[in-house]
A and B are shown apart, each in its own frame.
Chain A
Amino acid sequence: MVLNKRYIRNFRSNLSFFLSITILTALVVCLYVAFDSSYGVQQESFNKLLDEAQLEDAQFMTLLPIDDVQELEEKHHVTVETQPYIDLHMENSEAEVRIFAPSSAINLYRVQDGRDLESDTDILLNGLFMQRQNLEIGDSIDLDGRTYHICGEVIRTDYLFCLKNITDTFSDSDRFGIGVVKESAFVTYEKKDMATVYAVRYSDKTDVTAFRKALNEKYGTLSYVDVSNNSRIQSPKDQFDELSYTVQIILPTTMVFMVLLIAVVLGRKIKNERKMIGVLHALGYKRYELALHYSVLGAIPGILGGILGVLFSIPALAPLSDMLIEDKMEVFYKVTHITWKSSLIALVLPTACYVIAVFITALINMRGSAIDMIKGLKKNKKKRMGLRKAKLSFRTKYKLRAVFGHLPRTLLVICGIALGGTLVAFTFACVDSIQRYVDTSVKETGEFEYEYFLSSVKTGVPDKGAAVMAASFEVKDNPDLITLMGIDDTSMIHVKDSDGNEFPLDEDKFYISEMSAFAYHVKAGDTITIRNIADLKEYPVHVDGVFVNGSQSLMVASRSSVNKLLSMPENAYTLVMSKEKLPYRDSELLREVSKSSLSEALDKTINQGMKDLLMPITVIAVIISVITTYLMVNILLNESTSVISMLKVLGYRDGEINRIVTYIYHLLLPIGIALGIWLGTVLNRLNFESQTAKYNSFIENYVTPKSLLICVGITLASYVISMFLLSSKVKKVEMVESLKNNQE
């Protein structure tokens, strides 16, 4: 119909409004599609990688070599593969490369780049190691006197996070990498220099407990690491889980909320067309025809914004997929395409919401008679806010009535101001909470500086340091591990309640860390059942208290209590804690951990990656904040055109009009800012609470005063920028507007 010509004209005459809506839609769509696609595609490819590689369900080491693998497999319906390896030194370097032969059933390797092995002198190396050693495909590498030709880049799913020891906290690709050579090359190494680990995959028929018990009885289980406790495999998975809340909850919610907000704004815009709707209705257009006609005005920014958002998201995919995988992990997939699901949602949701909002508003507007619409008369006129006799200036009364007498509009403005603030506050609270966790968690573990995990059980008292009986246990009905510590010297570790009172390490008193209490849902007075990793023997332990420690899954008691529980000699110990460095030989130790390395590892593992990712979100949040506030106050100006025009006629200057009409929402600013910050921190708290098990840490919600100030500053700045952009709007209002019919 001829009315359709109005679309482009309407778009032109309200260019800044429609442009703002389109850009805002494009931004939220881009944010959603880019993150959802990067996250979704990468997670999907991660799961595919694990499937294709026939990832182990667990790995274990035994005291005696398993000589009847087939019998074990048939009896317990499992697949077991012996996976020997050898660590070779790189010439002219401190680095070591762990060499594997290609496995046949479990933990299959994938050639990520280059070509597969062809000759005995070919070697595949992991990407991060090559990168750190400045090696490229086609180069040669000398390992313990043998020269290999690097034919490609490899990924082994059991070494995605390339830890030399499974108990290590962080990887060091400057010193350690993995390689795969042909079986015929591998068999030429000295057997005595090799180590062997067994990988197992269970089937539906497997009774895991029975298998593990049988394994321990026949071969003596030295170690058993379930896939869920294997940091080499779990770390990349945890990376995804850390972000799942942000990507799967925060960003879609932001998009939906923004879209709804824009839909309401569009609806209000159409409300201003009431007179025109009345005229067209009087000319014979039917209600639904007019509602449909105006719906297209909603569809245009929805479709345009959706398409632009999807297009903008494509170049963001590659850098985002890099950011999603922390730089200590093997990058297993570069995302280059967006998902159908996210792009479909992004294209349909805004358009549908805008069309529905406009359609409904148009229908509501047409409830009165055409004459009422043309004359601007309304049935059920709302009551004006009072203050009739209050001794206030008309300016103050006008502002108060404009704010409190138009509550839906006011709520919309508060939401607009708060929304940007929420995103900004969430990102800052997230970074602050993690930073605080990193800063305090290591400190609150105790006064020790070094932990020496001994390779064998000792008895008595060490020459220096405090003796600790430490052993890892599984928690019944939970795949996570808990460390049981028996210690007498409480100057080394803190076992204090939240008020700072020390728990007495009396006989048979067991205390659990805050982190474990949260993860395993136990409190003082409850009983928690732990079980030995090797023989699966269960030990019910009564929890006498919960001590402050949000970073470690720990249970602490006196050394005698723990040894009694484990049927060990009363003075046995497996760990020495010390405030100074002790001269243990490598052969005496399983591993050595210093507090500073722990702190550094925590920072590198969870803090840096998060910071990298959150900063782009902050930038987008600021842009969203500016545009949202602009749109919200723009509604006010549109709805106040006749007042602005009349004030001009009466001789008011633009600045004075801005102070009366445009700046009325200054008093809502503190509410919007406070609401935004509050919402941001609540989302952050929910984020960390929902991920305690995933982070393996209990991260408390925390925002520094500095960040609070920055959040306030950013929201304030966004508001000021919006006001600046809007102040020129008053200039554009023509005085003749007031000459049009403007009856109450």
Chain B
Amino acid sequence: MFIEVKNAVKQYGSGESLIRAMDGVDFSAEQGEITVILGPSGSGKSTLLNMLGGIDSPDSGVIRIGKTELTSQGKSGLSEYRRKHVGFVFQSYNLIPDLTVRENVEVVADISKEPLSIDDLLETLNLAKHKHKFPRELSGGQQQRCAIARALVKNPQILLCDELTGALDSKSSRDVLMMLEKINREFKTTILIITHNEGIAGMADRIIRIHDGKIVENSMNRKKLPVSDLEI
């Protein structure tokens, strides 16, 4: 298994205000799979994504991505893991406002050992003609594609997407998801998508449902659809 999560527990607060954001989560996924994690607000899906991305650590349990056991890493180890293996895409894009599209992608390429060609990537993501624009000069969909380009330029083993279409209209959402589909196909990148949107689950190889910090469903998607056919 490429992704392995065993009995991961994460708690916030104490006493009466104790919140179990992750309550003994177990799941695994193969390399190259698209996994969609569904769940209502506060269910613990973002916490799970943060753990998988090395942004946060569980209080107990084991998380392993490829050959790296995240739960045994210190701060610098997690930083190296994020640097080499993970790409992030957030709902709010998080582009650096003082840098152009190309430069935002360069931020990651600059610390990668074998980065992909930025120009080729921007071409693939239909951003070539916007590469010298600043984020605020782009539409939401274009900004999100730029964020995807930034995440992909290091050719990560795993791409983590947190509500990546949450701020987009349906057309932009479909464009962005089609890009992810293409990336998965071309680069065999393992992709994890967190969303509220049930429609997006159609493109997944694996669907996980999470509720109150517990996984309530972990199943392979027998009816995987191309993004163009999704109802989103």
Contact = CB atoms under 8 A, between A and B. Distances in A.
Contacts of A402: 98
Given A649-B55, A653-B76, A742 B92 contact: yes
A646 B96 contact: yes
A336 to B, nearest CB: 55
A650 B82 contact: yes
Nearest to A744: B136
Given A402-B98, A735-B55, A742-B94, A394 B82 contact: no
Contacts, number: 91
B interface residue count range (under 10 / 10 to 19 / 20 to 34 / 35 or more): 35 or more
Interface in A64-105: none
B107 A647 contact: yes
B88 A742 contact: no
Contacts of A738: 90, 94
A389 interface: yes
Contacts of B136: 381, 384, 744
Contacts of B88: 649-650
Contacts of B95: 744
17 contacts: A384-B136, A394-B99, A394-B106, A395-B110, A397-B99, A397-B103, A649-B55, A650-B82, A650-B88, A651-B83, A651-B111, A652-B111, A653-B76, A739-B46, A744-B93, A744-B134, A744-B136
B110 A393 contact: yes
Nearest to B106: A394
Nearest to B91: A741
* Interface SS of B by simple majority: mixed
A646 B103 CA distance: 14
Contacts of A743: 92-93, 167
Interface string A375-401: 000000100110011000111011001
A398 B98 contact: yes
B198 interface: no
B80 interface: yes
Contacts of B99: 394, 397-398, 401
A742 B103 CA distance: 18
Given A405-B98, A741-B92, 16 more contacts: A384-B134, A384-B136, A388-B133, A393-B106, A394-B110, A397-B99, A649-B53, A650-B108, A651-B82, A651-B83, A652-B79, A656-B111, A739-B46, A739-B162, A742-B92, A742-B94
Contacts of A393: 106, 110
Interface in A530-569: none
Interface in A625-666: 642-643, 646-653, 656
Interface string B69-109: 00000001001111110101010111111111001101110
B155 interface: no
A249 interface: no
Nearest to B101: A388
B135 interface: yes
Given A401-B98, A652-B83, A744 B143 contact: yes
Interface in B31-79: 46, 50, 53, 55-56, 76, 79
Nearest to A650: B108
B223 to A, nearest CB: 32
A1 to B, nearest CB: 25
Given A388-B132, A394-B110, A651 B84 contact: yes
Contacts of A385: 98
Which of A389, A647, A739: most chain B Cβ within 10 A?
A: A739
B106 to A, nearest CB: 4
A649 B82 contact: yes
Contacts of A744: 93, 95, 97, 134-136, 143
A655 to B, nearest CB: 11
Nearest to A647: B107
Contacts of A384: 97-98, 134, 136
Contacts of A381: 136
Which of B94, B100, B104: most chain A Cβ within 10 A?
A: B94
A166 interface: no
A393 B109 CA distance: 11
Going nearest first, the 5 A-B pairs with the smallest beta carbon separation are: A651-B83, A651-B82, A388-B132, A744-B136, A394-B103
Contacts of A388: 100, 132-133
A584 to B, nearest CB: 81
Contacts of B134: 384, 744
A651 B73 CA distance: 14
